[in-house]
Structure 1
């Protein structure tokens, strides 16, 4: 549903007034209902270095800097279920994005091009919008208290299909999904999605596609199925697979293991592996890609150090479904995914929990990632921007500071400061030299 501009600001207010009244009514359908109203304030700044630049999506002019500031309102109502072996319910989602700062020469498009402010037009290449939003909903069914089925606007969380929530507003996809927890330690999920609603879109009928090759009207749906299994407190597994219509089949395996060594000291290790092969009409061309990462970490009290290695074996980049995120490769970072064709990358990461100094909720992360051996000469037309690269290199440094209020009337209020420096070398032209800063303040209010 497209919302007219004048109705955007009143949507969360209307929901916050009506839904508490419904929740107070009698009936099993409402007994377990919940309503969360999240306010998210997001500042996004990118400064290009060494002569690099971005292109204005509206007029094609060069941009040496992107500076955007927006406020997002996420109204999320989830009902309980009617009584009985077969229960019915409904989920409703209202999203509003407000531009606080960012003119035509300073913003991206908030979708495929990094940024948070949406632009007008079907391809998000018009003038920046002052406000935008949408309503979504899903019908749901519960069977035997351990299986849920939803149809409508949903947010799947599979490693091969994970709805993105890394900008001002979350992405949704439309289709049928299920979730099952009938066996102890085992979480099964799957579904069939037929369209995507981008993070800054007002429509629910966006085409599917891939992050690095674009959207395709011919890709009718994406199917996915998988499970997570926790064997015990030390060992867990994930196994998932998906099929993006006429583009690829993609499978994923993960194992995590933690071994206590002494009081306050533990060893953590794990392996992630994706296998991607073209299928059907192969709309983005031939794909024969195996991408994996391995990590080894040591946690000592408030300190944690992790060393990770990621490898992309294939002439195409490791790619994933359009506008989704949370890919489970260890080197994926703030600016770069470190997933270029044939790339090898190393990561060193340090985490500190300030609870040890009497400041619970405050944490620091410092990361350094270096990638090399990028070779995209055989990437194919869909990934043509890689074909001029024979020996590409790059590195990225991240400094993240996060604080979440632990108690009091503003419990859950969070502050996240994310800084990144990314530099390219060799003949790597597919990415840019950029300094990036994000500052996010978020307050999730549990109304009921």
Structure 2
């Protein structure tokens, strides 16, 4: 009986696989026919008051006020696939930036010290910079493989796009959608192109530990499952060569209520342990967050709690933004050693007041019990904190044009105020920061 069941199952799987190959071939119109061409313009203004001169600038001087303004462009051509059982394609991109305002005494470095303007080897802000890249790709049935300069997107490795231009990483990536409701991803990358630099050979490393020339690769694997009604599950893992192994798990539940509105809850968990040569020292960190929210009409409220268990901060890949902890915000990640953080959030979609495209967010986060006395290695600076705290208040407004020649143009205003408490000011900055971001995407598919 077992053998008969196994034989029938394998036959069914073969039929499904054959059907997937046929369907993929039928859906493939061609290299040009399925291609997309887009151009996105981003105008970015950055103003930061690092109060009491609490920021150390590029020249090692104490600085408080920072102001930068730049115009960027990101153009992408993503081809379809050639016809046949095995299809081939090509993705290309170009990025460019022009400085509109910001002198040497006002800017960061756009990479590790914030800001949006790139600097040259002498520390002077560049008036312009650009870079180009691309990737070759191949598709078999529902599986796609790409190699080149890519934009990986996962909870353990996510390209950074929170400044003027996005980060890319060089390596390979595979995506599989053979099973309904399940998307599988894996990749391995050997270098990074920082978000404010034109080169493609940047060293890997971590946001809080710095770049590491001896770390040769970062790899990741995992998947997202949405095959159960109202539930989303994510499981991922990664390895940063000679630094850490990191695993991630999350579950999100969202369900409409009979009394009206929608209830949502979820939990996220990261486990990070040092590996190999342990270039940053010993790492044993468990970070998790949980949340609960309710939405009705255009209103949504949410409460969340985040806990960092470990004598190191929760860390992530250099220049990326792979952090799915609920307290992470504009001014602070709320990820310091042993930190506990409560947060409250309110979101408004003004469509309920007859203003489609307008949204508003208000957040308050408070972190306490920061204790880094036992930190070591690359995180030794946290030893100065025995009983630290911090809080942040965020106000975000966004408007997206709904129709007409400027359709999809968006304007964002993001303001954050962050203050330290206890002895946390020994390593962190008090901050008032404003960002004004204008995004205007153009769809050029009419050129096909």
TM-score, normalised to structure 1, is 0.92
Give the aligned partner of residue 246 of structure 2: 250
- Asked whether the equivalents of residues 242 and 277 of structure 2 are also in contact (C-alpha less than 8 Å), the reply is yes
1:446 maps to what in 2? 443
Task: Compare CA radii of gyration and give the structure with the larger one.
Answer: 2
Q: 2:13 maps to what in 1?
A: none
* 1:179-194 equivalent positions in 2, closer than 5 A: 179-194=175-190
Q: How does 1:96-111 map to 2 (within 5 A)?
A: 96-111=96-111
Where does structure 1 lack aligned partners over 5 or more consecutive residues?
1-26
Equivalent residue number for residue 84 of structure 1: 84
Structure 1 range deviating more: 226-235 or 62-71: 226-235
Q: In the alignment, which of 212, 215, 218 is matched to residue 222 of structure 1? A: 218
| Aligned partners of 2:384 and 2:427 also within 8 Å | no
Q: Which residue of 2 aligns with 1:44?
A: 46
How many Å separate the matches in 2 of 1:255 and 1:189? Answer: 18
Alignment of 1:180-329 (within 5 A): 180-262=176-258, 264-329=260-325
Secondary structure, counterpart of 1:384 in structure 2: helix
Cα deviation 1:269-311 (Å, max 9, x = unaligned): 0000000000000000000100000000011111100000000
**Paired residue total:** 416
Aligned to 1:417: 413
Q: Does 1:28 align with 2:25?
A: no
Deviations 1:399-421 (A, max 9, x none): 00011112222111000000000
**Contact preservation (8 Å) 1:75, 1:93:** yes
Counterpart in the other structure of 1:162: 158
1:72 aligns with 2:72: yes
- Say if 2:127 is the partner of 1:126: no
Equivalent position of 1:12 in the other structure: none
> Separation in 1 of the partners of 2:76 and 2:428?
36
What SS is found at the alignment partner of 2:216?
A: coil
Contact 2:180 2:227 in 1 (8 A): no
After TM superposition, give the deviation of residue 263 of structure 1 in Å. 5.8
2:334 matched residue in structure 1: 338
TM-superposed deviation, 1:260: 1.4
Cα RMSD between the aligned structures? 1.0
**In 1, Cα distance between equivalents of 2:163 and 2:87:** 34
Contact residue 141 and residue 150 of structure 1 kept, 8 A: yes
Judge conservation of contact 1:53–1:65 (CA < 8 Å) in 2. no
Q: Give me the whole-angstrom Cα distance separating, in 2, the residues matched to 1:427 and 1:53.
A: 14
Instruction: Determine the C-alpha separation between the residues in 2 that align with 1:53 and 1:295.
Output: 33
Is residue 400 of structure 2 the alignment partner of residue 404 of structure 1? yes
Task: Indicate if the aligned counterparts of 1:86 and 1:141 stay in contact, CA closer than 8 A.
Answer: yes
Misfit runs of 4+, over 3 Å: none
For 1:132-143, list aligned pairs within 5 A: 132-143=129-140
Q: 2 CA distance for matches of 1:321 and 1:291?
A: 15
3-state SS of paired residue (1:31)? coil
Per-residue deviation at 1:379?
1.1
- TM-superposition CA deviations, 1:187-244 (whole Å, max 9, x none): 1101110000000111111000000000111100011000000033411100000000
Q: Quote how far apart the aligned CAs of 1:262 are.
A: 2.9
Q: Does the 8 A contact of 1:264 with 1:301 survive in 2?
A: no
Give, in whole Å, the separation in 1 of the partners of 2:61 and 2:68: 17
Is 2:359 the counterpart of 1:363?
Answer: yes
Question: Aligned equivalents of 1:198 and 1:354: distance in 2?
Answer: 36
